[in-house]
Amino acid sequence: MSDKKISVVIVEDDAQIREGISALIKSANEFSLKGAFAECHSLLAALDNILPDVFLMDISMPGMTGIECAAKIKSIYPAVNIVMLTVYENDSQIFDSLRAGASGYILKNTPLEQILDAIKDVNAGGAPMTPSIAKRVLGFFNETGQKTIEYNLTLREKEILHELVNGLSYKKIAETLFISIDTVRSHIKNIYYKLHVSSKSGAVAKALKDRIF
């Protein structure tokens, strides 16, 4: 299907792993190895000359972490694909890596053939990750997505809170909802009581932070 080899650069401080994977890539005729580095600085210095299709990047390395390095590479060449390679599945490492622009995240104990699959996946525009990593990512989703705390606001109160979030004054809200300003006041008093706040901005902050909408 593919007409040319996928070029790879590996950055990994552990010589054994680095050379193992290097040998693997050299022996597979779908891939070509463009470089193998033990730390980030020498890679960055040589970057312009050896830019590959895909990076395999270790996370914990002396000097500069793979995450920082990935961010640097991405800032210069946004289109390259970077697969992080690590021993730990640690939430903050995963998220920092993803934020740095990594497109894949696999564990070092992954079978070698699957590492090659991951390189192919990422080169095809996919985002390879082990199911356990994916689980962490999804967990993040649910946390932030579900946090819809219920404050037992009535329908009308939610409407009014919504207008507060939109930045309307009491007067404008009264006009919009065709009620008197005193009614607006009354509702807002109750909203404050239920949300445990005592100012418009406090209510707005709570509404947005707790995703009442």
Partner DNA sequence: ATGACAATCACATAAATATGTGATTTTTAT
Partner DNA sequence: ATAAAAATCACATATTTATGTGATTGTCAT
**Footprint of its own copies on this chain (CB under 8 A)?**
95, 98-99, 101, 103-104, 121-122, 124-132, 134-135, 137-138, 141-142, 145-146, 164-167, 169, 197, 199-205, 208-209
146 binds, among its own copies, DNA, none (CB under 5 to 8 A by kind): its own copies
Closest-CA residue to 132 (of 116, 109, 100):
109
36 or 69: CB nearest its own copies: 69
How far, in Å, CA of 210 to CA of 148, rounded? 6
3-state SS track over the chain: CCCCCEEEEEECCCHHHHHHHHHHHHHCCCEEEEEEECCHHHHHHHHHHHCCCEEEEECCCCCCCHHHHHHHHHHHCCCCEEEEEECCCCHHHHHHHHHHCCCEEEECCCCHHHHHHHHHHHHCCCCCECHHHHHHHHHHHHHHHHCCCCCCCCHHHHHHHHHHHCCCCHHHHHHHHCCCHHHHHHHHHHHHHHHCCCCHHHHHHHHHHCCCC
At its nearest, how many Å lie between its own copies and the CB of residue 206?
8
Residues 42, 90, 186, 196: which binds DNA (CB under 7 A)?
186
171 or 209: CB nearest DNA: 171
147 binds, among DNA, its own copies, none (CB under 5 to 8 A by kind): none
Kindly state the number of chain residues that form the binding site for DNA, as judged by CB under 7 A: 23
75 binds, among DNA, its own copies, none (CB under 5 to 8 A by kind): none
20 binds, among its own copies, DNA, none (CB under 5 to 8 A by kind): none
37 binds DNA (CB under 7 A): no
42 or 166: CB nearest DNA: 166
Long-range CB pairs of 202-208 (<8 Å, 24+ gap) are: 203/161, 203/164, 204/164, 204/165, 207/161, 207/162, 207/164, 207/165, 208/165
Residues 161, 188, 195, 207: which binds DNA (CB under 7 A)?
188
At its nearest, how many Å lie between its own copies and the CB of residue 49?
28
166 binds DNA (CB under 7 A): no
142 or 152: CB nearest its own copies: 142
Q: Which residues bind DNA (CB under 7 A)?
A: 152, 154-157, 169-171, 177, 179-180, 182-183, 185-189, 192, 198-201
